[in-house]
Amino acid sequence: MELTDKVFVVTGAGSGIGKEIVVTLLGKGAKVAGVDLNEDSLESLTKYVGDKSDRLSTHTLNISDKKAVIDLPKEVEKKLGAVDAVINDAGIIQPFVKVNDLDYDAIDRVMNVNFYGTLYMIKAFLPLLLKRPEAYIVNVSSMGGFLPVPGQSVYGASKAAVKLLTEGLYAEMAGTDVHVSVVFPGATDTNISKNSGVAIPNQSDNKSKKQQSFPTLSAKKAAEIIVSGIEQNKPQIFTGKDSKMMNLLYRLNPVFATNLIAKQMKSLLSK
């Protein structure tokens, strides 16, 4: 997809990968509607993009609010014109506990944001995208969407749902002018724990050397990979060597891959 002058809607735009996606798209000449729950983060985003802010509109919105999402397309069109693409990046994690110890409020919150929020955005914008000469939907899943991660089982389930929803949508859009991609980020340097209101257990200022040296991809690099994948119309986009490697390993030997992740996650689970 050629990005110049295209109108993108990006959720989770106030921080992390979403913020860097906005910056990357603006740098390529696109117009962007940034959507985020946090109004202060959107204000910071506007300052961050500097003189490119004339091609940015911001929208404070909870994507799990179905009515608000239904009203969003009109708001974006009023400010930027017809929408050409939607990138569903917004997401939260769960507390680092086993399913048995996870309360229902946390379960509902994760599923409402990660799955239903993505679904609401698709339902709100897809009828309009189908009218465009070329359009795009990008849904951000997770490495945890194809690989079980103890202590994040419901988060993983929500991202697996996003994966299959996107793959089904890809099949449904075959023969149309709407491209569809699913993104599988690996370990990335973002504030998702803080934004999710989740503390990472057994971590302190005195982190072990092993924890400190654990490689993570920068949000900027992840965003660049995602935008490049959109330009190439890639159905699957993996950001980070860990995501690519674990995808292959899980396909070849799912039991070994599961036990490997379980061993790595053991220190984060107190029970």
Cβ(155)–Cβ(99) below 8 Å? no
Between CA 23 and CA 100 the distance in angstroms is 40
Between CA 100 and CA 226 the distance in angstroms is 35
- For 194, phi then psi, to 5°, come to -65, -45
Between CA 17 and CA 180 the distance in angstroms is 19
- For 140, phi then psi, to 5°, come to -90, 115
Helix, strand counts (H, E) of the chain: 11, 9
**Is position 155 annotated as part of the catalytic site?**
yes
Catalytically annotated residue among 120, 155, 170, 250: 155
Between CA 89 and CA 166 the distance in angstroms is 13
CA–CA distances in Å: residue 225 to residues 75, 103, 135, 160, 173:
29, 36, 19, 21, 23
What strands, in cross-sheet order, belong to the sheet with 31-36? 56-60, 31-36, 7-11, 85-88, 135-140, 178-185, 236-239
Q: State the DSSP code for 205.
A: S
Cβ(262)–Cβ(269) below 8 Å? no
Between CA 237 and CA 230 the distance in angstroms is 9
What angle, 0 to 180 degrees and rounded to 10, lies between the N-to-C axes of helices 117-129 and 153-172?
Answer: 10
Q: Which residues are catalytic?
A: 155
